[in-house]
Amino acid sequence: MAQLRQDYAEFTRRDAAIVVVGPEDAPAFADYWQKNDLPFIGLPDPTHEVADLYGQQVKLLQMGRMPALILIDKQGRIRHRHYGESMRDIMDNSALFALLDELNQ
């Protein structure tokens, strides 16, 4: 999430909204958001309904939920999916900016 916060202005410049879905309950999620002063939307998903809906994998031997990035356009269509194979497998912001730029043309 640090890289999303770092480049938040670039995402908003591209008219993108960031929504981070996490496994914590609402109070824990709100506490984390406040402590880290995150400028984007956080959605608690302790029952994994949203994660399951979008196909986010859970691998218990690798610390739980794997990273997933879903790019959804303004009409609600999924335009890109990236499912990480490990906690380090996170898409680089420059690649996201390229995708957003292409969608915005």
Q: Provide the whole-model pTM.
A: 0.81
Cα distance between residue 5 and residue 52, in whole Å: 25
Tokens encoding 32: 């984390």
Q: Regarding beta strands 19-22 and 41-44, do their DSSP bridges make them parallel or antiparallel, or are they unpaired?
A: parallel
Tokens encoding 13: 């410049």
- Which residues are 82's β-sheet partners? 69
Q: pLDDT (tens digit, 9 = 90+) per residue, 38-85?
A: 999 999 999 989 988 888 876 655 567 778 889 999 899 999 998 887
Q: pLDDT (tens digit, 9 = 90+) per residue, 20-48?
A: 988 889 999 899 999 999 999 999 999 98
Q: Residue 69: phi, psi to the nearest 5?
A: -130, 125
